[in-house]
Amino acid sequence: MSIQLASIDLNLLLVLHTVLTERSVVRASERLHVTASAISNGLARLRTLLGDPLVTRKGRGIVPTPRALALAPALARSLREMELALDALPFDPPSCARTFTLAVADAGQLTWGPRIAARMASELPNARLRVVGIDSLVSLGDLSSGEVDLHIGLAGRGPGLHVEPLLEERTVLVARRAHPLRGRRLSARALGELQHVGVEMVPGKSFRDVVGAAYARAGVRRDVVMTVPTFTAAIAVVAECDLVTTLPASLAEGAGTRLGVRELDAPFPSHTVKLALCWHERTHVDPAARFFRTLVRQGVLGRGS
């Protein structure tokens, strides 16, 4: 006879386990804080479901049937595993072997990635870090899907989303080292004559649009002649021609010279982008996820708290 687990009240399995452990209906009722009649009724329901007496009376105690004895080890093991899973055991970072997924733009991967990796190696030595681009929030699903644990970027909105302000990142306009306008103080008119490479990491919510809004507020028309999905792609293009692009200042200062670009002297549209840590309610109270968020926060901010 095939029995579907969904057809069984799981409390009945706890009743059977306790009766088999105590070898007494009365002691089982005391342990489970219910009446003896409730235990007897539970056993009766199980007998009907399983087609077996399960236990028979012997004096003041009970004797398990062969079927009950066969079930006893599986019941004990399953209930113990469930207890361990539900028990709020202290989180032990050195023994954590989980894989954490962080979604962050390539600028953050270059500037904060090494610091985050160093902290992972020091504080979560057995864990794994998977870093994906912002576009992965589209291809893998949003933070509620379970594919991404933490996102660093522009603050989002949505059901169950937690957002923690992280830092304000200044942006700068950069060009190749030998650009004709390098070393000159640019006027609004000169800025309006430049041709730009825009960075659009996620369609419909792009860094390009944020920068464009800053230009618009300054009254300067921004001529975007090329759009790329990453900051490093924008740098690669700008380093080889007279196009310009806007980068986070930390990337321009930390790797710009090495990658072949330098900041232009422009009165605007330097502005700040507010970045946040974003995660879903599903991991909000999880000890490992909370530890990982602290580790990433410290890595980005470059401090121990």
Q: Which CATH class name applies to 96-166+274-301?
A: alpha beta
Confirm if 160 and 280 have CB atoms less than 8 A apart: yes
Query: Which pLDDT tens digit goes with each residue over 39-62?
Result: 889 889 988 888 888 888 877 778
Q: Any idea which of 108-117, 133-142, 174-183, 243-252 has the lowest mean pLDDT? A: 133-142
The two beta strands, 55-58 and 195-199, are unpaired
Query: Which pLDDT tens digit goes with each residue over 174-220?
Result: 999 889 888 888 888 888 889 999 988 876 556 777 787 888 888 88
The DSSP code for 141 is -
Three-class DSSP category at 266: coil
Closest Cα partner for 135 from 170, 103, 90, 157?
A: 103
User: Is the pLDDT reported for residue 283 higher than 90?
Assistant: no
- Output the pLDDT for position 305: 46
Please name the CATH architecture into which domain 5-86 falls.
Answer: Orthogonal Bundle (1.10)
Closest Cα partner for 288 from 18, 157, 96?
A: 96
Q: 112 phi and psi, to 5 degrees?
A: -100, -20
Buried-state track 144-161, b at ≥16 Cβ within 10 A, e below 16: eeebbbbbbbbeeeeeeb
Give the start-to-end residue ranges of the domains of the chain.
5-86, 96-166+274-301, 170-273
Neighbour count for residue 218 (Cβ, 10 Å) = 16
Name the token pair of 31: 């342990």
User: Is the pLDDT reported for residue 253 higher than 90?
Assistant: no
Rounded Cα distance, 209 and 198, in Å: 9
State mean pLDDT over 211-235: 87
Confirm if 110 and 255 have CB atoms less than 8 A apart: yes
**Percent of the chain topping pLDDT 70:** 90
- Residue 16 pLDDT grade (very low, low, confident, very high; cuts 50, 70, 90): confident
Fold of domain 170-273: D-Maltodextrin-Binding Protein; domain 2 (3.40.190)
- In this chain, the answer to whether the domains covering 5-86 and 170-273 adopt an identical fold is no
- Output the pLDDT for position 26: 87
User: Is the pLDDT reported for residue 227 higher than 50?
Assistant: yes
- Report the chain's mean pLDDT, rounded to a whole number: 85
Higher-confidence position of 135 and 161: 161
User: pTM above the 0.85 mark?
Assistant: no
Name the token pair of 299: 């890595």
